[in-house]
Structure 1
Amino acid sequence: MPFSFLGKTLSGCFTVPSGIVTTAPSIIQRVIRDMPEVGVITTKSIGLEPRLGYREPVYSQFAPGCFVNAVGLTNPGAQASLESLGQLRVPEDRFLLVSIFGGSVEEFVAVAKILEPVADGFELNLSCPHASGYGMAMGQDPKIVHDIVAAVKQAVSKPVIPKLTPNVTNIAEIGQAALDAGADGLCAINTVGPGYTEAHGEPVLSNGVGGMSGKGVLPTALKCIRELRAITDKPIIGCGGLSSAADVKAAQHAGATIAGVGSALSGMDTEDLKHYFSTLNRELQGSGSQAETQIRYDLSMEFQPVTVATNEAVCDDITVVTFNETMNIQAGEYVFIWIPGVGEKPFSCLTDSPLRLAVINVGPFTEACYQLEPGATVYLRGPYGTPVMPPEDADIICVAGGTGLAAVYQIARDFGSNEQPAHIFAGARTADRLYFIEDCKDIAQVTTATDDGSSGFQGRVTDALAEHLAKLTPEALSKLWFYNCGPAPMIHAAEKVQREYGSEQQIYSAIDYTTKCGVGICGACASPDGRRICIDGPFINREPDLLPKLG
């Protein structure tokens, strides 16, 4: 139901709090297109300069529906954000709330000035509980809050809404300081804490501690919203632990104008999000509790120990690590491997029995994997992602480059047959970089391609693919189902060839976008069409990009 908010008539009364899901322009555009219930679009917090944030793990579950996070204010910086947010097509019934942070009054002002052309309003992040030098320390001091709000209000003409920390004895005092400085509204609450989680005697978050969110902080959020409503009639964005229509109604009764739903979205893919917000909005206007049943209280982020059986180098930067354990994992799914003190990364499983990974050495974490000795223990969580589901009569073609073979071997094994075996095209620069080929030959037809001709077809694997497809009849081509995994240039080249002989609906690719949380929350793995690869993929078929390409 449309309603007014800071000069706009909006399509819905919900937002997704800063740093959750709507963290990339393509995701924002998809939410705008598909989820009218989300009337206020809140960006991730943006600072003056690029910030890498913390290494993974960044998100930890300590109870069903309850989480601790420490992403570390990851962002590309104000100037790059101006360019990317400027691509957005924001309709009149949406409010783009640009969240900003800074280490000083001057930084807040500088960021606001840069981003004013793309913002309908600013959220001032005065409450991050884990980033040293930012956030909560500022938000606990009424004078600093007053000075930041006043300075930003003087510098820009757009509405300003400070986001307040619950980690104070009197949030109304902080809120009043912001209002006295000219705040156009308030946002409460940011995460509580910091808090700490551990697994197997080790801190889970790479930062050690992080902000607590989810169902467990709802009573704190309701208390803070009520205390702020007692001192102002201005809009309040209420967030913290909201998941059901009953929670949202409680927040509205406490005084919230806009309801922010964040951690409750953990584990939901894009279609789930659409259905959830539609259900939540319908129940908000009437009755029911179906939205609550869509929350993934069964989500598992627990780590299980696994022990290295062998670690066999393929070449100077590729190795195959085999563990003593087996795993029930479906073709297309993936896992995270965690080495305490080093970090965690996602991997496709080359085989499930025994559990086996292919690792290419590209940085500190994979270097640590490369050096694992037999008997070493690391930790695994998962599986994650959406299993692939080709039609029953599909003829499977897998195209792999680099360690991409790990993602497609099980697809070829599970969906090929003796009568209709899958066909694997494996490419590498040289023969010594090919691995697991003899095992592949046991379950599929195999074509290898090397740049120097040292194994199989001389040239690119996509050229070998094109030569094969050119020999097939139209009937045979119509039954093909393609799965591609490898470096982005190889995937784009493979898709180009496959489109010449088939349709987009037959092509699924897994590109190595950055994946951090695995449960769809941080948005680091945003695809150009706004899907999150960690939860909607990793194998996805192509949809039109939602944003115009620059340059």
Structure 2
Amino acid sequence: MKDVLKVLSRRHLDRRKDVLLTTVSGVASTKPALLTYFDTKVPSIGIITTKSFQVEVNPGNREPVICETERGNFGNSVGLRNPGLEQALYELRKLRSEHDFNALLNVSLSANSIEDFITLVKAFDEVADMVELNFSCPHASVGYGSSIGCDQSIAAQYVRSIKEATTSCKAPLFVKLTPNVQDIGLIAKAVVESGADGLVAINTVGPIVHIDPVSGTPILQNKLGGKGGCSGRQVFPNALEAVKAIRLACGDDIPLIGMGGVSEGWEAALLIEAGADAVGIGSALGTVDQRTWPAYLASVKAEAQALLLSTGKIVVPSSSSFLSAERQMAYEKHVVTAFKQYGKDTVLITLDGKLDCKAGQFAFLWLPMIGEKPFSVAHNDPLTFIIKKRGPFSEALCNLSVGSELFVRGLYGAQLENKPTKQALLIAGGTGVAVLPSLASQLKEQGTQMTILIGTSEEVSGKALLEDELGAFGSFTCIADRGRPGRVLDLLDTIALDPGMACYLVGPEIFMAIASRKLLGRGITEENLYLSMERMTLCGIGMCGECACGDRLTCRWGTFMRYDFLKREASELLAYD
């Protein structure tokens, strides 16, 4: 492991010349593939921070868990969602065995008892360059996060006991502090005197209830009555004052990672001038397309260094030019104008208004105080969605009627980038058929002849979902499972296939994995095979990392991924044995 304290020490390095940037817990660097992404493709990041891990699996809160009530200002109540110690340690051990990190790996930990923190510190010591004790989450359950960090004596007792029990551990112990206290300097000094090797500040401010400006209702859902932490540009003044207070109270010897609302180089420079040894970038990544994260973060670093050295050098492009000019999580109110039942569990909901959705894009549907989920757009005009009853939220959607209000945000993702071919085979399972109209429209513009195969879980008398529309694009066949899921894929053993044709798959991942195996066996090339990876996402803007396919986020790159990319970067998504 690297000498973390020396890397961060103010006595060894002049931060004016070498600005050290870090990711923050719970934002962007939340999956193993994203940890390696930042290490290999974002050289301006010097410390990579995991999400906060707990001893047991924590499913977190129900969506919505992230919101944006004003441009660049976010509320969040993820609820420390994480896979638990056993799975997280397995993933990090595997990652360490396969990848040699250039950056420092900071493993964030959360618990509601000294004993659990000791268990976590000992367990993750073998894979961490440093560990971060989360004493600061404002929307966690009672006993976690800020329940510890808000009390000077409790925080000190925790650190003292953990340090005494982990003397054999190599990774230095950093404590992440909450700004929601009267004097953060006193608490910082208390944990340092109790043995903390370093400090991190700040976590989100609050919590408060975040009200949607359109519906007038709370957005987030949790046991705190919809309260969630505040992040983004709104909290930068809090972060700046906290860093100043901590440095004043603790002196220059203790390493301090400052964060909170930093979006541009000048803000990073101010935090360093105030006493930070490294600067965390979190919510700002949700305002920048993932495809430009490397250039954006390099710009933040270069600008900060130029300002700190007073060179007057102009950095082009500026970090501000990468930031979204619009609020990306804004809801629009719609009214249900038509409601049609297909079978016992599927409905077609038509709304007033329209969206210009392309193949590879999607939107979120939200019912205030009930929940939200991402869905593909079946029709752009009028705006139409296909809903299959799977859980409480989809059941609530299926219980709507004409005149009901429904809120939509998006679009997210990007349009499919494909190599045009003379022929194409389109295969969809279940409600994946919703993706095909926009896909077929794009292929038609490219002059492609299409064969369309649809599989359904239940037989419906009359025409299949979207049969009239899709039938106009080419040959259309719909086959019901009749008790055997994916029965439509039997056709791939006999249907005529041209080796040069492209194939587009939409549906459950196991469905697409089986179809891919069959198509490759029939001579379709990996470069001509596209899979729509409709992974669950909590935000749609790149913050949560839940929609990662390898190191690409579908909410930014679009849902369609080529088979050869998935095979190389996320082969586990193609397995079905």
What TM-score, normalized to structure 1?
Answer: 0.91
**Aligned equivalents of 1:548, 1:6: Cα separation in 2:** 37
Q: 1:501-542: per-residue Cα shift (whole Å, max 9, x none)?
A: 333332221233221111110112222x12222222221224
Q: Which runs of 5+ in 2 are unaligned?
A: 307-312
Q: Residue 182 of structure 1 corresponds to which residue in structure 2?
A: 195
Q: Aligned to 2:371, which of 343, 348, 356?
A: 343
Match runs of 1:62-141 below 5 Å: 62-89=69-96, 90-91=99-100, 93-133=102-142, 134-141=144-151
Q: 1:424-478: per-residue Cα shift (whole Å, max 9, x none)?
A: 2211245329422232112332133344599xxx9733332453353x2xxxx43
Q: Residue 232 of structure 2 corresponds to which residue in structure 1?
A: 214
Q: Residue 55 of structure 2 corresponds to which residue in structure 1?
A: 48
Q: Is the 8 A contact 2:343 2:458 kept in 1?
A: no
Q: Is the 8 A contact 1:23 1:44 kept in 2?
A: yes
Q: Is the 8 A contact 2:449 2:474 kept in 1?
A: yes
Q: Is the 8 A contact 2:486 2:511 kept in 1?
A: no
Q: Residue 485 of structure 1 corresponds to which residue in structure 2?
A: 506
**Aligned equivalents of 1:140, 1:361: Cα separation in 2:** 43
**Aligned equivalents of 1:469, 1:85: Cα separation in 2:** 45
Identity %: 33
Q: Aligned to 2:256, which of 236, 240, 246?
A: 236
**Aligned equivalents of 1:122, 1:419: Cα separation in 2:** 55
Count of residues in correspondence between the two structures: 539
User: Does residue 194 of the first structure (1) align with residue 222 of the second (2)?
Assistant: no
User: Does residue 170 of the first structure (1) align with residue 158 of the second (2)?
Assistant: no
Q: Aligned to 1:203, which of 192, 214, 218?
A: 218
Q: Which amino acid aligns with 1:491?
A: M
What TM-score, normalized to structure 2?
Answer: 0.88
Q: Is the 8 A contact 1:416 1:444 kept in 2?
A: no
CA RMSD of aligned residues (A): 2.6
Q: Secondary structure at the match of 1:242?
A: coil
**Aligned equivalents of 2:157, 2:569: Cα separation in 1:** 39
Q: 1:79-138: per-residue Cα shift (whole Å, max 9, x none)?
A: 221111211135353211111111122221222222222222210110111123111121
Q: Which runs of 5+ in 1 are unaligned?
A: none
Q: Which amino acid aligns with 1:6?
A: L
Cα deviation, residue 322, structure 1: 1.5
Q: Secondary structure at the match of 1:264?
A: helix
Q: Residue 514 of structure 1 corresponds to which residue in structure 2?
A: 536
With over 3 angstroms needed to count, the CA separation of the structure-2 counterparts of 1:418 and 1:21, relative to structure 1, is closer
Q: Secondary structure at the match of 1:266?
A: helix
Cα deviation, residue 389, structure 1: 3.2
Q: Residue 551 of structure 2 corresponds to which residue in structure 1?
A: 530
Q: Which amino acid aligns with 1:447?
A: T
Using the TM superposition, name which of 132-141 and 267-276 deviates more. Answer: 267-276
With over 3 angstroms needed to count, the CA separation of the structure-2 counterparts of 1:481 and 1:300, relative to structure 1, is same
Cα deviation, residue 149, structure 1: 1.3
**Aligned equivalents of 2:123, 2:153: Cα separation in 1:** 25
Q: Is the 8 A contact 1:332 1:408 kept in 2?
A: no
Using the TM superposition, name which of 245-254 and 489-498 deviates more. Answer: 489-498
Q: Is the 8 A contact 1:412 1:423 kept in 2?
A: no
Q: Which amino acid aligns with 1:49?
A: E
Q: Secondary structure at the match of 1:107?
A: helix
Using the TM superposition, name which of 30-39 and 428-437 deviates more. Answer: 428-437
With over 3 angstroms needed to count, the CA separation of the structure-2 counterparts of 1:321 and 1:459, relative to structure 1, is closer
With over 3 angstroms needed to count, the CA separation of the structure-2 counterparts of 1:83 and 1:229, relative to structure 1, is same
**Aligned equivalents of 2:403, 2:426: Cα separation in 1:** 33
**Aligned equivalents of 2:506, 2:19: Cα separation in 1:** 39
Q: Secondary structure at the match of 1:202?
A: coil
With over 3 angstroms needed to count, the CA separation of the structure-2 counterparts of 1:292 and 1:494, relative to structure 1, is same
Cα deviation, residue 198, structure 1: 1.5
Q: Residue 309 of structure 2 corresponds to which residue in structure 1?
A: none
With over 3 angstroms needed to count, the CA separation of the structure-2 counterparts of 1:346 and 1:227, relative to structure 1, is same
Q: 1:347-391: per-residue Cα shift (whole Å, max 9, x none)?
A: 101111111111111100011111111111111111111112334
**Aligned equivalents of 2:361, 2:532: Cα separation in 1:** 11
Using the TM superposition, name which of 90-99 and 54-63 deviates more. Answer: 90-99
Q: Which amino acid aligns with 2:240?
A: L
Q: Residue 310 of structure 2 corresponds to which residue in structure 1?
A: none
Q: Secondary structure at the match of 1:505?
A: helix
With over 3 angstroms needed to count, the CA separation of the structure-2 counterparts of 1:155 and 1:497, relative to structure 1, is same
**Aligned equivalents of 1:205, 1:526: Cα separation in 2:** 23
